Amino acid sequence: MTNMKKALALSALLLACAASVRAQEFFGLTPGDVQGMVARARAEARLKRLESLGYEPGGLEQKAGRLLGTIETPSSRQDCIIDAVIAHMGVRPPYDTIYPDVLRESETNESLYEAAVKAQFPGAPAPVAFRTLYLPDDNVIYLNDSASYYKDGRTMDGELAGEYARFFDWNLKHVGTVGRLDADAAAVESWYESAYPAGTSSCGR
């Protein structure tokens, strides 16, 4: 980090500290109050961003789909899938890595999904159906969660593992060719589904 960047970072830290002290002095707010307000503001901003990308919770309809078996559910937590892919690929993400949000088909507005895909791939044909993919510009993974899609050993966990591989290729390995990205994603998905078959969790192993 250059001296200029260090100076700017120090200035930002001092300003944040000063703001916290002044908030407590003038408004009776504690540093914890200020941190809580900042956290809520960030959460609201994240929600608005996801809504702009199509996030649209299905509520009772989505719950019914899971109960009836028409909507697939993962066997592992996302952090467990990420850890498994990291170990398999041998990558070392920085501690402050911002991992992609995951939007499932059952909770995504179709028209906003199509708009996001067109914005990422302006020269490509418009998507004719929802499919799993990672959009680097928005740092989001759209995930197919239709139960009928996962057959013959294919799993939602494996599908997601492949997209995390694409994320690491793009952001850490700086792979820029579509063919290589697709091949790596397919290879990691196949490995994951072999190592953790349907119904098996990668957590705690």
Tell me the pTM: 0.79
In contact, 111 and 74? CB cutoff 8 Å: no
* 142 plus 115 within the same structural domain: yes
Residue-level pLDDT at 136? 96
* 141 plus 79 within the same structural domain: yes
Residue-level pLDDT at 14? 45
Q: Say if residue 98 is exposed, middle or buried (CB neighbours under 10 Å; 0-12, 13-18, 19+).
A: exposed
Q: How far apart are the first and last CA of the chain?
A: 38
* 17 plus 113 within the same structural domain: no
* 19 plus 101 within the same structural domain: no
Per residue in 153-162, pLDDT (tens digit) is 999 999 999 9
* 130 plus 44 within the same structural domain: no
204 found inside a domain: no
Residue-level pLDDT at 91? 97
3-state DSSP percent of the chain in helix, strand and coil, to 5: 60, 5, 35
33 found inside a domain: yes
141 found inside a domain: yes
39 found inside a domain: yes
What's the rounded Cα separation, in Å, for the pair 153 and 148?
Answer: 12
Q: What is the number of domains present in the chain?
A: 2
6 confidence band (pLDDT: 50, 70, 90): very low
What's the rounded Cα separation, in Å, for the pair 141 and 40?
Answer: 23
Pairing of strands 140-143, 133-135: antiparallel
200 found inside a domain: no
* 152 plus 98 within the same structural domain: yes
Per residue in 48-102, pLDDT (tens digit) is 999 999 999 876 566 556 556 689 999 999 999 999 999 999 999 999 999 999 9
In contact, 189 and 162? CB cutoff 8 Å: yes
> In Å, how far are 62, 86, 129, 130 from 169, measured between CA atoms?
32, 11, 25, 23
201 found inside a domain: no
54 found inside a domain: no
| Domain region containing 39 | 3-49
* 70 plus 168 within the same structural domain: yes
Residue-level pLDDT at 1? 45
* 13 plus 36 within the same structural domain: yes
* 98 plus 120 within the same structural domain: yes
147 found inside a domain: yes
Structure tokens at 68: 């009836």
Per residue in 141-193, pLDDT (tens digit) is 999 999 999 999 999 999 999 999 999 999 999 998 999 999 999 999 999 99
Say which DSSP state 52 is in: H
204 confidence band (pLDDT: 50, 70, 90): confident
* 18 plus 65 within the same structural domain: no
**What is the secondary structure of 171-199 as a DSSP string?**
HTS----HHHHHHHHHHHHHHHHHHS-TT
* 64 plus 41 within the same structural domain: no
Per residue in 10-52, pLDDT (tens digit) is 454 445 555 555 545 555 668 777 778 888 888 999 999 999 9
* 30 plus 123 within the same structural domain: no
Pick 37 or 121 by higher pLDDT.
121
Q: Say if residue 63 is exposed, middle or buried (CB neighbours under 10 Å; 0-12, 13-18, 19+).
A: exposed
